[in-house]
Amino acid sequence: MRPKGAGRGSPSSRCGGADPPAPVMPGRIAPIPVPSYSAPMERLTCDRPVPDHLRGGVVALGNFDGFHRGHQAVVGAAVAHGRATGRPVMVASFDPHPVRYFRPDTPPFRLTSLDQRAALFAEAGADAMLVFNFNRTLASVPAADFITDWLIGRAGAAHVVTGEDFTFGKGRSGNVAVLTEIGAAHGLTAQAVGPVRDEGGPISSSRIRQALIDGDPREAARLLTRPFRIQGTVQHGDKLGRTIGFPTANIAMDRYLRPRYGIYAVRGLLPDGRVLDGAANLGIRPTFDPPKELLEAHFFDFAESLYDQCIEVELIAWLRSEAKFDGLDALSAQIDRDCAEAKRILAAYRPVA
């Protein structure tokens, strides 16, 4: 489709910049509340010391891919400590993910882009996001040096909050105990936050990934506290969808995890703040040759151009597997049925505050 549009929240100058407030699936786990803070969030990299006004602050340290309820607990604790002590709060994340560095052939597994994470951190109350570039240099830094040179020296941290199972440093030799012991000798305090659990055990990114691979976006949304979102720039395609009356907004999957291929009920979040209901094919389009992996979203009652715009697509419900059809008439008839089912699901969808 080549609609043109917008999503909830403020417009973004880049793909993945400002992310609107997230809707909530019925029956989800409520997000951990964090103090509201409206100042604009700065985005920094580790190649230079952070600005003076952020030094002496609180750092939430972790990968935070997905920013699920467990991650929210860590950042929430950092924000609460910062507000109580009058210190600025930074969230430090790694890019690429260490798994991507050590095992570059690992299939895509990302749940959030850096831009999406930045927006989520801002909503949680952070003043800045600090990105550690995980490369050969950082991978070879001993745990003690990471504490003294990177956290204290470059980030200017006075207090660090991590999850209980967080490890760091060459050979993953650093943990909360190491951070506490070495930090104390240099005036750095540390705090560990335990996992957030539900009836299925600790809430984790791996559980969310498995839910998406299983074709269960409702469960993923429950664990994330918002629907899983794929963000990208709408690209030109072969325009076959409009020839049968179903124009689509096509987005490359890039480094995102591949959820179960198939047809989904979706919502589109456009740069100007609009939210569109739709149905999407996520997969390789087996009816067409050659196969091409895309997320193709058709938005109902929408005919504007979206080419080259950055949008987000929320996966609300999985409808069926991809299938190959004998001709465009059969394909068109099935898309009609898919859209009707998606409309029914989305009409009953009620985000919970």
Count of CB atoms situated within 10 Å of the CB of 88:
21
CATH superfamily of 228-348: Riboflavin kinase-like (2.40.30.30)
- Site of tokens 């941290």: 157
Q: DSSP secondary structure string, 40-64?
A: PPEEEETTSPPPGGGTTEEEEES--
Contact 162, 192 (CB under 8 A): yes
Rounded to an integer, what distance in angstroms lies between the CA atom of residue 64 and that of residue 73? 11
Ranges for all domains in the chain classified under CATH 2.40.30.30 = 228-348
Contact 249, 2 (CB under 8 A): yes
* Mean pLDDT, range 220-235, rounded to an integer: 96
Ranges for all domains in the chain classified under CATH 3.40.50.620 = 42-198
**Is the per-residue pLDDT at 153 higher than 70?**
yes
CA 321 vs CA 261, 264, 314: distances in Å: 6, 9, 18
Label residue 23 by pLDDT band (50, 70, 90): very low
pLDDT tens digits, one per residue of 167-210? 999 999 999 999 999 999 999 999 999 999 999 999 999 999 99
Architecture of the domain made up of 42-198 = 3-Layer(aba) Sandwich (3.40)
Label residue 13 by pLDDT band (50, 70, 90): very low
Count of CB atoms situated within 10 Å of the CB of 353:
5
Q: What's the predicted TM-score (pTM) here? A: 0.85
